[in-house]
Amino acid sequence: MKLGRLNHIGVATPSIEESLRYYRDTMGAVQITEPFDLPEQGVTVCFVDTPDSTGEVGKGTQIELIEPLGETSTLNTFMEKNPLGGQHHVCYEVEDIEEARHWFEGRGKRILGPTRIGAHGTPIFFLHPKDMMGQLTEIMETPKKDAH
Ligand SMILES: CC[C@H](C(=O)O)C(=O)SCCNC(=O)CCNC(=O)[C@H](O)C(C)(C)COP(=O)(O)OP(=O)(O)OC[C@H]1O[C@@H](n2cnc3c(N)ncnc32)[C@H](O)[C@@H]1OP(=O)(O)O
Ligand SMILES: [Co+2]
């Protein structure tokens, strides 16, 4: 397996509205999606697009803003330790999610739960931060070109 594209950086926040204002008004973001709830993951999410190397917005690495949703959100423990939020996870793309799963299992890395569909609508899994140099790491299958 080779290191794939950095698809997004997951950034936890106590207030997605405040974070949206920050990225728009302080950082000059020009393309931000509407927030949407993922109740099964216990988060409200939205994406801030950053320009790619040509300066085009929409194809570059995204900031994935995540706010806890509900009492049982996985994010609540993180927010207790980091009340202002901050960098939560990194997400790399792979061509084949099952091949990637075998790769990491073969290297003794703990995979957190089953492969499932993530916020981009493609299969993902998470790897435990303690096995990944301290970084909670999301692995995501690259969206197929003809995906609509
Ligand atoms: C946008 C939707 C997206 C998707 O599904 O597509 C998401 O939902 S992302 C947000 C929520 N989902 C997840 O984070 C799934 C994976 N996370 C987990 O399974 C847990 O959060 C886990 C196992 C990483 C940590 O579990 P928990 O928080 O309950 O336990 P601890 O607080 O005791 O953490 C154990 C140990 O890990 C350190 N830790 C926790 N979170 C992080 C982090 N984000 N980055 C780095 N390190 C982290 C924590 O400090 C503990 O270390 P210790 O030295 O023992 O204090
Ligand atoms: Co993510």
Out of 7, 36, 78, mutate this one to test ligand 1's pocket (max ligand atoms within 8 Å of CB): namely: 78
Burial of 141 (0-12, 13-18, 19+ CB in 10 A): buried
Judge: domain 6-141, CATH 3.30.200.20: no
HSE toward the beta carbon, residue 36, CA cutoff 13 A? 9
Q: Tell me the pLDDT tens digit for each residue of 64-102.
A: 999 999 999 999 999 999 999 999 999 999 999 999 999
> Which residue CA neighbors atom 47 of ligand 1 most closely?
129
Please report the atom of ligand 1 found closest to the CA of residue 112.
Answer: 19
Q: Tell me the pLDDT tens digit for each residue of 103-140.
A: 999 999 999 999 999 999 999 999 999 999 999 999 99
Q: Would the pTM of this model clear 0.90, i.e. be above it? A: yes
Q: Mark whether 138 is an active-site residue.
A: yes
Q: How far is CA 87 from CA 72, 96, 108, 111, in A?
A: 20, 26, 25, 20
**Domain residue spans of the chain:** 6-141
Asked whether the beta carbons of 52 and 60 are under 8 A apart, the reply is yes
120 three-class SS: coil
